[in-house]
Structure 1
Amino acid sequence: MGERPVGELIEELAARLGPGRFTEVCVDLLGGARREDHLAELPSLTGHDWSAGEPVRDPAVWKDHWLRTWGARGLLHCWDDRATDAVLAGLADEEWRPAEMCLKVAARHEVAGAGDGAARLAAHPLPRVRVAALRALAVVGDTEHAAAVDAAQGDPEADVRRAAGRAREQLRRRLDLPEEA
């Protein structure tokens, strides 16, 4: 795998597998597939060597939530609308990394229906997840999600407040909302 960017590896994997099979693999991983089921695809999705004996194969070293995260990351680089339900479900993942990656997918690809999950994650304990949620809400949120964005403008973290301000402005323009909520 070496020094090549993961995004490049993912795009090559998608071209090799074809869009349908690539999406199936990513959705399967995002849904909790066993790592052994996708050993051939995981090197390209992770950028890590998955040969025998490598620590990335060990669930004690790389917890299962990483598999879900890597599945979502594949969709970040090569989107297919057939993955929508898996991404929406991933927004409710009990681990923050897969949920955060699903927020990134939702924002980049304007995943329909992601507003409710993003609004819930706008109150997540980790600031980086709140920022990702606000970025997603900026592009997938609707009028009922404006309150979550407005609430984040008073967040104790400056990065979250900045993201909330940008999201509010994007929502205002996109949805023709008033200047002040």
Structure 2
Amino acid sequence: MSRTDRDLPPPRDLDLPVGVLVGELSAVRGVDATIGLCLDLLAGADRRDHLAELPYLTGLRFEPGSPRLDPQRWLDHWVRTWGARGLLYVWSEDAAGPVVAGLADEHWRPAEMCLKVSTRRELGPAGPGACALLDHPLPRVRGQALRTLGAAGDTEHVAAVRRALDDAHPDVRRHAARALERMSARLDLETPW
């Protein structure tokens, strides 16, 4: 048990949306402490050090003997993903650097979640990492990279988004068209195509 979780009450209702649960944790621990927790998890903190807090970030129980406590059964990329997901609901500009760094995570789940945070927070520095993920084998990751570029990409990313109009997957092509429309409006481009 970590020092900070001794007096942490369990969430009111684990069936509530994660955003509500993160808000509940922030109300008890404070926004800065909740952001710090998310950043620790995104950096790969040991899940066993945060057993009382994890239900707020996941909507799951973490009881002794739970397979969720076994890194061989629930791999560590889940911990990094949960940390990043929490940053969809609590934020500080200090989190921008770690989120952008998370785009290069070795596993697609934390990288995709960092793309989602980058989109929501409109993180311009995420542009190069999002461009790199346009070559990811999973269409859902490529699509999210395009959403990020639509929200936060700059003129130097337009050519990469245009190339995605020819992606093999129809959803990715659709995201590319939307990203170009957003970039055109946001960056005052003459023509997105």
Give the number of the structure whose alpha-carbon radius of gyration is greater. Answer: 2
Structure 2 unmatched runs, 5+: 1-12
Matched, 1:15 2:27: yes
Show the counterpart of 1:57: 69
Structure 1 unmatched runs, 5+: none
Give the superposed CA RMSD: 1.1
Matched, 1:174 2:176: no
Show the counterpart of 2:51: 39
Show the counterpart of 2:173: 161
1:180 positional shift: 4.7
Any residues of structure 2 matched to 1:62-77 within 5 Å, and which? 62-77=74-89
Seq. identity, %: 56
Show the counterpart of 1:3: 15
CA distance in 1, matches of 2:37, 2:158: 35
Moved over 4 A (4+): none
Per-residue CA shift, 1:38-94, capped at 9, x if unaligned? 112111111110111111111122100000000000001222211111101100001
Amino acid at match of 2:134: A
TM-score where L is the length of structure 2: 0.90
1:11 positional shift: 1.3
Show the counterpart of 1:128: 140
1:178 positional shift: 2.5
TM-score where L is the length of structure 1: 0.96
Per-residue CA shift, 1:127-150, capped at 9, x if unaligned? 000000000000110000111100
Amino acid at match of 1:152: A
1:112 positional shift: 3.5
CA distance in 1, matches of 2:62, 2:32: 23
Amino acid at match of 1:128: R
CA contact (8 A) 1:23 1:82 kept: no
Per-residue CA shift, 1:79-116, capped at 9, x if unaligned? 22111111011000010000000000000111231111
